[in-house]
Chain A
Amino acid sequence: MKVLVFIKRTPDTAAVVKPTPDGKDIVREGLAFIINPYDEFAVQEAVNIKSAKGGETVVMTVGDDASTEQLRRALAMGIDRAILVKHDRFWELNPSQVGYAIAEIAKKENPDLIIMGKVTIDDYTYALAPYVAQALGYNLVTYATNVEYGDSTMKVERESDLGKEVWEVPYPAVISAERGLNEPKIPSVMGVMKAKKKPLDVVEMDLPSYAYEIVRFTPPPPRKGVKLLESVDDLIRVLKEEVKIL
């Protein structure tokens, strides 16, 4: 089976993100970056599929030169080769532009399966997997928590507020990874050394233009301190007079 994984370079979940003075971007200098955590489930899933069923695994991203760090990490986790679709301000791209790039690569690579995270933690659009499936005419299952891979179909579990669903889906397909799909492994030192020798192709691509602009980033308001109250009467008074919800 051939699996294509899409990942994105995102700020570390523990990083403190601040807007730039003009409010149109975040300060990227000195910020720690990681593979989007949901994409890391996708990488691990591809590695698991290859170790169980053989085949080939390819990881791609749309990103700047620094995004090779994340591609190398995916290679260190066990992916066979990597493709960087070069874009110096990739964080400004819309899901349809990134989705176009993925679809273009997929047309050349012909994967049986495309896996990516259900969402990226920096833009929260949830739109990428549906876009890619639509563009390619592939089947789609979102928020996968467990998959059994058969020869021509796969059984995908997804969890919703209504309970668990199991879908049987023929290849080719796109799945978006939810937490719980697997436990991503920390790469080994050997993995890092092997990754150095694996192919990493850089692709230039004209992406469709899209008429949208980020107007302003605003940080969340700072959390107010805890106020200790003396009695229930005090609580009722605060809820009435200060919070004004009673």
Chain B
Amino acid sequence: MSSMLGKRAVSSFISLMVLIVLVFFLSRLTGDPAALYLPVDASEEMRQNFREIHGLNDPVLVQFGHYLADLVRFDFGDSLRKARPALEVVLEAFTWTLELALITMALVTAAAIALGSLAAFNIGSPLDRIASLLSLIGASAPDFWIAIVGIVLFSVSLGWLPTSGTGSVWHWILPISVLFIRPFGLILQVVRGSMITALGSAYVKTARAKGVKNRPIIFVHTLRNAMLPVITVIGDQAAALLNGAVVVETIFGFPGVGKLMIDSILQRDFNVILAAIMVTALAIFVMNLLIDIAYALLDPRIRT
């Protein structure tokens, strides 16, 4: 198992390195930060001065050298726009994203596994049909639309929940509900399909023939075997959430890393872009490792 994890870690590390190089050069290709940061009628002198202060006049390779050296020390420099350390800005935003992603994924996983298993066990029943319908709606509904409709319905018309923001527990309900819907739909489908396959397998038939009851069949025999594809999908969905839920963050005014990244790209705030990409890449790297471990624990064949 450790050699498998070692291999995975090395390959992830290489992709991280490629990412570092790509990010630097791609972001430099897209435009001059001085043109964007300064007002349109700023003089050439102001622009020149701005480039000088921020080291944008150096040759690109020299800038790349500085960037690598700073990266090793985990120093991303200051945000051009916010005049404070880029890493601090990113970690602040990432904390919100992480909380949002963890809570959402925990709820999604629990709900999708419970409902998916029950549906698979009772194929064709009303419960199964409702679950399939729900998952189809969930997987295909546009989240910006759900978010706005949610605000109009629950905040403006009914007055139950605040429209947006972060002040209290109530503020989390709408964003989490909106984020919940899509992964829930997807994972529910995968759980159901995977469980149906497992329930039709030879070992379940054997167990039934031996007179094992329904509950142990679901929870002891099939669930563990059916979980492998489910974990992959959970990993994918969680990675998407860790990248920031841009739509939800934008609409609900949640200060997460997705919106920060988009804003920084539009403003060519290089240091923040780099710090944000590194932090999220590292988080996804760690999460992939966790998924590999979970895989190995569930399936002894992988451990070699």
Query: Are chains A and B native binding partners rather than an unrelated pairing?
Result: no
